[in-house]
Structure 1
Amino acid sequence: MYAKGAAIISLFEEFAPKAYAMPDDKIGLQLGSLSKEVRKVLVALDVTDEVVEEAIAEGVNLIIAHHAIIFRPLAHLQTDTPAGRLYEKLIKHDIAVYIAHTNLDVATGGVNDLLSEKLGLTELSHLEDVHTEKLNKLVVFVPKTHHEVIQQALFRAGAGWIGQYSHCSFNIDGTGTFMPREGSDPFIGEQGKFEQANEVRIETIVAENAARRVVSAMLKAHPYEEVAYDLYPLDLKGRTFGLGRTGKLPASMTLGELAEETKRVFEVGTVRVVGDLDRSVRKVAVLGGSGGRYWKRAQFMGADVLVTGDVDYHAAHDALAAGMLVIDVGHNVEKVMKAAVAVYLSKRFDEKKYETTVIASKINTEPFQFI
């Protein structure tokens, strides 16, 4: 069975929920439909003409990309312009395009964690917190015979996390009462007869962005025709997610040595460096994309150097004057997301027994040539 686009995106958003995105970020479905079956998914950094040709050649039905193809409102859709020709080609070949940008940057295991991993950073923390999970309490009453089945269904769907502890719940035995009325099809008892059943009250924590998934799994596993459950918000806050990472290198090195290491691990031909190449560095701040304006935040967090992309001239001067080191590795290093997202989706497809396949784009979308 092939997965529909909506099912694929539902799985993907368990990894990088839309709620993690920065305000006004251009994410989500930008072209096409998610209501159709998808035989093959292509994961790309950018959606260029070359990437679309690759998708066509590979028989792809859905592209999941990091950078938006529609960033500003369209005044027109003229097919004799570069953008118009791109949209026309996608539509004609029935290829949908879904964008995951800052939500993928922020996500655990997303772009910034991947960049940090490439550098071997340890003791990671967020460069800047941007999102804190809202938590709900789910309470459901289940027949004692189905207690374990329903409890495990809740956990598999993502319920029961408190900090670094999973499978958290509280369970109380009790007696449920009910009377099936005309038109009912009771799992226990008979129509018109007052019934008492041995039940268990399960209480567990559910993050707001996982609530729909958890409730759906609970209802599917529950044998009752009408399920008694409550879902209510808590004042407690859940996990915090953030942009960028700070962490420590395995050992101190000079700025010049770190610059060479970034070229090697990120597979870039050249980098721009701000600061004394002989200065020793150990704590590093990493931020994929255009992160030049975060040099003050990196310095505040105690980082010796900020590794990011698209640093402008004046930001570089300001950082230099303040004694902050910077390595500009370019924007294209975010390509690390391609293989990681493809691996994640492949694993989830296997779990769901979907025949849909996923590949990482092989196209290098770096627009610059370095001479």
Structure 2
Amino acid sequence: MKKVNGHEIIALFEKWSPKRFAEDWDPIGLHIGQLNRQVDNVLVTLDVNEAVVEEAIAKGANLIIAHHPPIFSPMKTIWTDTPQGRLIEKCIKHDISVYAAHTNLDVAPKGVNDLLANQLGLQDLEVMSPTVSDPLYKLAVFCPVSHADELRSVLAQAGAGAIGDYVGCSFTSTGTGRFMPSTGANPFIGEIGKMEEVTEERIEVVLPGPIRGKVLKAMLAAHPYEEPAYDFFVLDQRTEEFGLGRVGNLPKTMNLDQFAVHVKEAFNVAAVRVVGNPGKPVHKVAVLGGSGSKYTKAAKRKGADVFVTGDMDFHSAQDAESMGLAIVDPGHHVEKVMIKGVAEYMQHATKEKGYEVNFIQTEIDTNPFRFI
């Protein structure tokens, strides 16, 4: 097993939950400390408060991964006699770094919203409100026939040519390439100052935007020519859409009040708020972690019978009721499902890489509300 630093852990985390998934307003990333040092234990938490930092100290965690950013608004001063200043001071004194993954973790496949949907037992999941889709590119590269098969294989290994359930997809046409090596060239084929004609294959493959750099690097390394000819084209098609919330179906229909009890038990909360007719049949469910007041129309457009989300305000609840959309509000804090989800995902991912690091699930309940 290999000792690991914070940069390596976060690089692995961001392959799953990349920063580009986050909303523009969202202050994700490193909030306190540094990543350029060894990390032995990582504490995973929904929120960061002083009790969580004390837990990190007690358990020897030198990195905290949180869902809610501890510094949401820009700070002009850090006064250590204030709650926020005291928290920052304590983290720095004990060499504890804090990293936040918020809306990017909401959007990520197997992230917060998938975890919530799975806990409710929803099936046939789809994105409720798309926010990110990557451009699809086509690479066209010219290669001598003798090396075409090898180059196609290298491109496929780099991830190019994957279409749905098919891999290694490409198109090839054959033609004649002409060139004359000039002084200073080191040609694979041909002689300095002499026009050369070579039978070449034009290899075309599609690839998603995020791997363009990886594919280009692999192509250049494998291509026999000193100066290969190639083009990238942006296509009208887009790759898979990512976004906030999930919509899915219950295994069997139940009425709204029965479903509300199901939500309460699934998320282990003391109470839920409900909008809608108690006997309303519920089969298609939309779920969104956090504050979902702005997304009632998105849930309705997806054909949901009920929308499960937190922090539903009075007027948004009235609007949902008027459009025939039921609401079940179990509270914002149900996003705590990410504690177990992130810890288990990252423990598995780091083990596969041979990293020696332990992920600890917080035992601190950061929900500020209680019910009487």
Mapped contact 1:163–1:238 kept (Cα < 8 A): no
Structure 1 residues without counterparts, runs of 5 or longer: none
Q: How does 1:188-267 map to 2 (within 5 A)?
A: 203-215=204-216, 231-267=232-268
Does 1:103 find its partner at 2:81? no
Structure whose alpha-carbon radius of gyration is higher? 2
Cα distance, 1:22 vs structure 2: 1.6
Q: Which residue of 2 aligns with 1:297?
A: 298
Deviation at 1:344, TM superposition (A): 2.3
What does the per-residue CA deviation read over 1:102-127, in whole Å, with 9 as the maximum and x for residues that have no partner?
Answer: 11111222111111111121232222
Q: 1:300 to 1:224 in 2, by over 3 A?
A: same
- 2: distance between equivalents of 1:60 and 1:307? 34
Which amino acid is the alignment partner of residue 85 of structure 2? G
Partner of 1:150: 154
Identity %: 49
> Residue 291 of structure 1: CA displacement?
0.3
1:254-297 Cα distance to aligned partner (Å, 9 max, x none) = 11111111111112121111122222211111111000232233
- 2:313 paired with 1:309: no
Q: Distance in 1 between matches of 2:5 and 2:228?
A: 28
Alpha-carbon deviation of 1:92? 1.7
Q: Deviations over 1:82-102 (max 9, x none)?
A: 101111111222222222111
SS of equivalent residue, structure 1 residue 340: helix
- Is this contact kept in 2: 1:114–1:337, CA < 8 A? yes
Query: 1:87 & 1:51 partners in 2: Cα distance?
Result: 12
Partners of 1:239 and 1:64 in 2: CA distance: 27
Aligned equivalents of 1:270 and 1:139: distance in 2? 58
SS in 1 for 2:158: helix
TM-fit CA distance, 1:183: 12
Give per-residue Cα distances to partners, 1:35-76, cap 9 Å, x unaligned.
Answer: 323222222211121222222222223222111111101021
Q: Which residue of 2 aligns with 1:130?
A: 131
In the TM superposition, what are the counterparts of 1:57-76 in structure 2 within 5 Å? Answer: 57-76=58-77
Q: Does the 8 Å contact 1:153/1:221 carry over to 2?
A: no
Over the residues paired in the alignment, what is the CA RMSD in angstroms? 3.4
| Shift, 1:307, TM fit | 0.5
Q: Report if the CA contact (8 A) 1:162-1:238 is conserved.
A: no
State TM-score, norm by structure 2. Answer: 0.83
Structure 2: segments with no counterpart, 5+ residues: none
Whether the aligned pair in 1 keeps the contact of 2:40 and 2:62 (CA below 8 Å) is yes
Deviations 1:161-190 (A, max 9, x none): 334544544568999999899899x9x89x
TM-score normalised over the length of structure 1 = 0.84
Q: One-letter code of the match for 2:292?
A: G
Q: Decide whether the 8 Å contact of 1:19 with 1:209 is kept in 2.
A: no
Q: Is the 8 A contact 2:155 2:161 kept in 1?
A: no
> How far apart are residue 353 of structure 1 and its match?
1.7
Write the distance in 2 (CA, Å) between the matches of 1:355 and 1:109: 23
The residue number in structure 2 matching 1:48 is 49
- Counterpart Cα distance in 2 of 1:129 and 1:316: 23
Contact 2:124–2:248, Cα closer than 8 Å, also in 1: yes
> Structure 1 residues 209 and 60, CA, compared in 2 at 3 Å: closer, same or farther?
farther
Instruction: Give yes or no for contact 1:308–1:329 (8 Å, CA) kept in 2.
Output: yes
